[in-house]
Amino acid sequence: MRTIITRNLAVVLAVLGVLALVPAGAGAKSWFGSSLNHEPANAGSPCDPSVTTPLMCTHVGSLYPGTSGRVKAPFSGKVIRIRVRAAGAMTLKFKLVKVRSLSSDDRQGQAKVVKVGPTLHVNGPSSDQLSNGIFPIESFKVHLKVRKGQELAIDTTNNQAEYCSDGTPGQLTFYNPFLRAGQGFRSSTGVDDCLLLVQAVVKR
């Protein structure tokens, strides 16, 4: 009996020793961008209303007031999933950006692309879901390194993933041209008074 107890104790101590080698917070998950607690509304306005042909435009999720989201990545790690809540079908390219010199009214700022992710095809709600006022959250697996403090952005000609209701300046916009990797910081071209309904799930 004493031998069994000794062996069991040795196993427990060995397990505790392995656990002690695992860094605190290792494998932790979090997210940034939209909390997706809003349904899309009044989405799809062009970045430049003066042109008839939709422009490719970079939308940076630069403001999420209250519980609507978190602007910046909370820690360095990997983006493992993108979640989108859209009013209709759309195609987007996911990007990570750095933002600086954001004005006090959140309507102007500078950004540059630090990582380019995949192109995603979002279905939006089915006709039955739309009839019942249901806007599902669509999820996409990705693998993209991110550093603490970086922000998310998307390129699209038709942004259906936004909540436009209260005039919140939620997105800095860049067009003619849109933001490309390898460029330095550029000043925003405009602002979209909508909340961007895109979320990045990040893991250490």
Which pair of tokens denotes residue 52?
A: 């008839």
C-alpha pair distances (Å), 56 with each of 48, 85, 153, 188:
10, 20, 13, 14
Q: What is the mean pLDDT of residues 78-103?
A: 98
Among residues of the chain, what percentage have pLDDT more than 90? 80
Which residues, including other chains, have CB under 8 Å from residue 118's CB and lie 6 or more apart? Answer: 93, 94, 140, 142
pLDDT at residue 25, rounded to an integer: 58
Q: What is the mean pLDDT of residues 34-38?
A: 97
SS in 3 state form for the chain? Answer: CHHHHHHHHHHHHHHHHHHHHCCCCCCCEEEEEECCCCCCECCCCCCCCCCCCCCCEEEEECCCCCCCEECECCCCEEEEEEEEECCCCEEEEEEEEEEECCCCCCCCCEEEEEEEEEEEEECCCCHHHHHCCCCCEEEEEEEEEECCCCEEEEEECCCCCEECCCCCCCEEEECCCCCCECCCCEECCEEECCEECEEEEEEC
Query: What is the C-alpha radius of gyration for the chain, rounded to an integer number of angstroms?
Result: 21
Among 19-23, 92-96, 145-149, name the one with the lowest average pLDDT: 19-23
Q: What residues does each domain of the chain span?
A: 26-203
Q: What is the mean pLDDT of residues 108-129?
A: 98
pLDDT at residue 54, rounded to an integer: 85
Average pLDDT for the chain: 90
Question: Is residue 16 predicted with pLDDT exceeding 80?
Answer: no
pLDDT at residue 200, rounded to an integer: 98
Question: Is residue 71 predicted with pLDDT exceeding 80?
Answer: yes
Question: Is residue 20 predicted with pLDDT exceeding 80?
Answer: no
| Residue owning tokens 């693998």 | 143
Summarised one tens digit per residue, pLDDT across range 148-181 is 999 999 999 999 999 998 788 999 999 999 999 9
Question: Is residue 1 predicted with pLDDT exceeding 60?
Answer: no
Burial of 155 (0-12, 13-18, 19+ CB in 10 A): buried
Which pair of tokens denotes residue 172?
A: 């800095």
Q: What is the mean pLDDT of residues 76-88?
A: 98
Cα torsion 137, 166, 176, 138 to 10°: value is 0
Instruction: Work out the pLDDT band at 21, boundaries 50, 70, 90.
Output: very low
What does pTM read for this prediction? Answer: 0.86
